[in-house]
Amino acid sequence: MARVGGRNAWIAWPAGIICTVVVAVLIVLALPGVPGAVTFVGDTLRSARSAPTATPEPSRTPATTCGELYTPELWSSLVWSRDNLLTQRRTPAASTPEAVAASGATVVVTCHWRGRPGQSLETTVSTVTPEGASAVQATLSSQGFGCQVSGATAHCERASNGVVEVHDLRGDRWVSSTLTNWMPDDYAAVVASCAFGEEPVSGRSTR
């Protein structure tokens, strides 16, 4: 191999030896840190591969507005028609004035939907005392409502001439719905679940 001009072998050899020694010393000095580096890399890879921790969904709170009383699906089915109009107010339950008078209830919100001619939906959410809830159930039973108690919930329902009246009572909440010639699937069950601050459920179709 031809030697590069201007290069002195007497200087190159000692310099090469010195560089080799320096590299060897650096390797020796780095050896104690190798296990720690391997552990660090391993922990990093394991943490990257581990499944992310699921963030718990915030718990529901009892509905206090019409926007909170309906699921997105039910809301969409109600607003799809230009004929439907929602009014939010604070008026007593539309049905059974005797039950309203006996309950001593305080209205939280009333959601009234006007649909096509002759169609309407109205749901009133109220707070009642335990005595008031018992008075509501007794009054409804005396007026021909079919009432059932399941766990902590009392459910009363009556249908006549296209008008369905549904009442659900739990704790300090009374949910009263009147459906006139308009029967969305599971309407009463969904609004009651939202009013009680639960995951919406179906199962009591008002169809």
Domain ranges for the chain: 9-49, 66-195
Phi, psi of 176 (to 5 degrees): -115, 125
How does pLDDT run across 118-137, given as a tens digit for each residue? 999 999 999 999 999 999 99
Above 70 in pLDDT, residue 205?
no
Above 80 in pLDDT, residue 183?
yes
Q: How far apart are CA 155 and CA 189, in angstroms?
A: 10
CATH architecture of 66-195: 3-Layer(aba) Sandwich (3.40)
Across the chain, mean pLDDT equals 81
Q: How far apart are CA 21 and CA 15, in angstroms?
A: 10
Above 70 in pLDDT, residue 116?
yes
How does pLDDT run across 50-60, given as a tens digit for each residue? 544 444 445 57
CA atoms within 13 A of residue 178's CA, in its CB half-sphere: 18
How does pLDDT run across 78-102, given as a tens digit for each residue? 998 889 999 999 999 987 899 999 9
User: Which pLDDT belongs to residue 94?
Assistant: 82
Neighbours of 14 (CB within 10 A): 10
User: Which pLDDT belongs to residue 81?
Assistant: 86
